[in-house]
Structure 1
Amino acid sequence: MNSMPAALWIGTCAHRLQQQWHTVDPIELEDVARDLWRDERFRAMPPTDAATDWLKPICEAG
């Protein structure tokens, strides 16, 4: 996924996170997405997959 521009990857990831957390400020979700992009493992994934993978422990706990 390194061919996708960072801003697009982060925006897409943040959008996926917002689907889970409707009440969280979008700016905060972009910050989370930016942190995920900085992680090489997540950055190698499509942004929606990275967000879903990152959300797994949260969704399973709830």
Structure 2
Amino acid sequence: MENVPATLWIAACAHRLQQQWHTVDPLDLEDVARDLWRDERLQAMPPDEAAVDWLRPITLA
């Protein structure tokens, strides 16, 4: 997403991931969010939508 600094995007994405995985260390979730940021398709989305999109296969299982 343009105009959103990477650090804020990553933090917001990690926060959304934590809503799914309460017991995972927040620093580990930041690492996952950082990896998601590197995906151009996900980076173009708002961070919460990117997290939901990435989680979709897990939540459908």
TM-score for both structures, normalised by structure 2: 0.98
Aligned to 2:3: 3
Amino acid at match of 2:16: R
Aligned to 2:55: 55
Amino acid at match of 1:8: L
Looking at structure 2, the residues matched to 2 and 36 of structure 1 have their Cα atoms a distance apart, in angstroms, of 15
Deviation string 1:19-47 (CA, Å, 9 cap, x unpaired) is: 00000000000000000000000000000
SS at match of 1:23: coil
| Aligned sequence identity (%) | 74
Looking at structure 2, the residues matched to 40 and 7 of structure 1 have their Cα atoms a distance apart, in angstroms, of 16
Give aligned pairs, total.
Answer: 61
Question: 1:1-62 counterparts in 2 under 5 A?
Answer: 1-61=1-61
Q: Structure 1: which 5+ residue stretches go unaligned? A: none
Q: CA RMSD in A?
A: 0.4
Q: Structure 2: which 5+ residue stretches go unaligned? A: none
